[in-house]
Amino acid sequence: MAVKTCLMIGASGMAGGWIQRMTERLGDRIQIVGLVDVNEEVLAAQGAKLGLGADQLFADYKEACAKVQADFCGIATPPQFHSPQAIAALEAGMPVICEKPIADTLAAAKAMAAKAEETGLPCAIIQNYRYAPNKQEVVRIREEGRLGRLQHIFGRYACDYRQYMSWGKEWRHDMDFSLLFEGSVHHFDMMRFLAGGDCEVLQGFGWNPAWSSFKHYSSGFYLLRMDNGVHTAYEGNSSAAGITSCWHREYYRLEFEEGTVEIGAGDEVRIYRVGQEVEVYSAPTMEWTGHDYLFKEFVDWLEGGKASATRIEDNLQSFALVIAAMETTEDGQPKRIADYL
């Protein structure tokens, strides 16, 4: 398999993690040949690590897209920059893999999706939480019918971010709807994944407790009715002070026709059946998980393999849930997801 060259937009924070994963786990399949960042010090430091010359480092993504010839473009920047950067890359003939969420507005997300459709180039969005052993095992249980039909799902995310800056960056505490844009975008996508369907109607409430470190809503309850008859309930809380189920430890309970499945921290799966002992076991291990899985899947797609499960036209369904949740929080009215798509 030929090595795929990458123009990487973003070099620090999450983007730094991308670079590390691409070079350490997929260095035999991905080579970064261009790097973009507005921070000159970060750009120079990362460029030196990658062995890039001055002509391969850019402060302006438009210039980079015009000058760098690469097999694809990776984007890991703040959400408001995703759409224009992706559109520039697609127009330059480069497929795109982009960090979630797709964008900062529905209009921007749709513009990005439209450009991918217009160019016919692959475009995928990161949804790394799907690719964990316990989540994959739950989907196998559902698909194989081990416990009969699925009735409903309860999901819980709870982190103690009561201190300002405890969520890593000040902008996460200062932005509007940080719970939804930075947190629930993962969890709504997970509800779709675990349920095996898309949402028809969403309704819920958001609020900000007096002791919150956030300027806007840090907590919320949302109900989703899926198009396959499954109902889901979601609790999001970035001001948790007791029982937490934070990143990579989110709690999910699935109620099936013949039993209940629970997953949370680690790879443990618990199955409950009335009148029987609890069945507890570790989900089968996976060679590729999280971001690594998605990078590999994307490169496979570029080489003629199956399209990424989180390709942009599918992930628009998850992003629409974030926008619908924001609006139902503001007006209290149920939202039909079809109206957003």
Q: 140: closest CA among 293, 256, 299? A: 256
- Other CB atoms within a 10 A radius of the CB of residue 304 amount to 6
How far is it, in rounded angstroms, from Cα 117 to Cα 124? 12
pLDDT at residue number 261: 98
Predicted confidence band at 169 (pLDDT cuts at 50, 70, 90)? confident
- Which residues does residue 228 pair with via DSSP β-bridges, in sequence order? none
Residue 277's pLDDT is 98
pLDDT at 164 over 70: yes
pLDDT computed for residue 2 by the predictor: 82
Tens digit of each residue's pLDDT (9 = 90 or more) over 209-252 = 999 999 999 999 999 999 999 999 999 999 999 999 999 999 99
Q: How confident is the model at residue 311 (pLDDT cuts 50, 70, 90)?
A: very high
Classify 214 as helix, strand or coil: coil
Q: pTM of the full predicted structure?
A: 0.94
Is the Cβ–Cβ distance between 89 and 119 less than 8 Å? no
Which pLDDT score, from 0 to 100, does residue 75 have?
A: 98
Are the beta carbons of 96 and 84 closer than 8 angstroms? no
pLDDT of 324 higher than 80: yes
- The total number of residues shown for the chain amounts to 341
Domains (ranges, CATH) in the chain?
4-125 (3.40.50.720), 129-290+319-340 (3.30.360.10)
Whether residue 27 contacts residue 2, with contact meaning beta carbons closer than 8 Å, is answered with: no
Over the chain, what is the mean pLDDT? Answer: 96
pLDDT band at 104 (very low <50, low <70, confident <90, very high): very high
Flag whether pLDDT at 1 surpasses 80: no
pLDDT tens column, 244-288: 999 999 999 999 999 999 999 999 999 999 999 999 999 999 999
Measured between alpha carbons, how far is 336 from 203 in angstroms, rounded to an integer? 9
Helix (H, G, I), strand (E, B) or coil at 9: strand
What mean pLDDT do residues 92-101 have?
Answer: 97
73 has pLDDT over 70: yes
Residue 26 pLDDT: 95
Q: Where are the alpha helices (DSSP H) in 10-132?
A: 14-24, 40-50, 61-67, 79-91, 106-119
Percentage of the chain with pLDDT > 90? 96
Residue 124 pLDDT > 90: yes
Using alpha carbons, select from 102, 19, 29 the residue that is nearest to residue 71. Answer: 29
